[in-house]
Amino acid sequence: MIRGLRLPPNSRILDVAAGTGEVTRLLQRHGHRVISLDQSREMLGQAVAGGAVAALGRAEELPFPRESFDALTFTYLLRYVEDPLPCMRELVRVVRPGGSIGMVEFGRPRGAWGALWRFYTRTCLPLAGKYIGHGWEQVGSFLGPSIDEFWRRFPGDSLIELWEEAGLERVTRTDMSLGGGIFMTGRKK
């Protein structure tokens, strides 16, 4: 995703739903100035321990003026958002015209790989979670249905259309890992 965004060095970037800051750190290693935003204080605590500059907040209501950033990234966010279109509009609001947005999300492999993916997410992940314990069973059981539900809501090119409706152009979608992951990029008009 970061390569796909083709950002000039020293870009000012908002990493939304930054979690523990994995993507933030990659962006920093590419020489960018990054703010990590997340709604979870606990997750941000780990991001800060890893060297992030953090902002507590929700993707649906960002605590920044319009056009504050050259680019914005978010990874594994939209599945958790109740109404993705207004949320996308809010993400677009804080990016300057001509700036970029990049996203990574889980996908659903098709064909024979789809059957294996289903077995992995419905049987292996919950079992592994049960074995690990400490709440991981719930996580292991949640992920597969959550991914399925998201792509039922956004079949075909409808997520691309939603990005365009939110004010982005040149929207691209790239499938990775046999369709198990996707990344998207777009440019603010």
Ligand X SMILES: C[S@@+](CC[C@H](N)C(=O)[O-])C[C@H]1O[C@@H](n2cnc3c(N)ncnc32)[C@H](O)[C@@H]1O
Q: Which is nearer to ligand X, 19 or 109 (CB)?
A: 19
Least Å distance between CB 90 and ligand X?
10
Q: Which is nearer to ligand X, 14 or 168 (CB)?
A: 14
DSSP secondary structure string, 73-133? EEES-GGG-SSHHHHHHHHHHTEEEEEEEEEEEE----HHHHHHHHHIIIIIHHHHHHHH-
Q: Binding residues for ligand X, per CB under 6 A?
A: 17-19, 22-23, 38-40, 43, 58-60, 75-77, 80-81
Q: Which is nearer to ligand X, 12 or 46 (CB)?
A: 46
Q: Which residue, judged by CB position, is nearest to ligand X in the bound state? A: 19
Angle between the N-to-C axes of helices 136-153 and 125-132, in degrees from 0 to 180, rounded to the nearest 10:
150
Task: Take residue 75 and report the two structure tokens written for it.
Answer: 């990874």
Helices and strands, counts by H and E, the chain: 8, 7
Q: Taking the CB of residue 139, how many other CB atoms lie within 10 A of it?
A: 14
Q: Which residues are paired to 87 by β-bridges?
A: none
Q: Which is nearer to ligand X, 38 or 70 (CB)?
A: 38
Least Å distance between CB 55 and ligand X?
10
Q: Taking the CB of residue 119, how many other CB atoms lie within 10 A of it?
A: 12
Least Å distance between CB 58 and ligand X?
4
Q: Which is nearer to ligand X, 104 or 171 (CB)?
A: 104
Least Å distance between CB 98 and ligand X?
25
Least Å distance between CB 165 and ligand X?
19
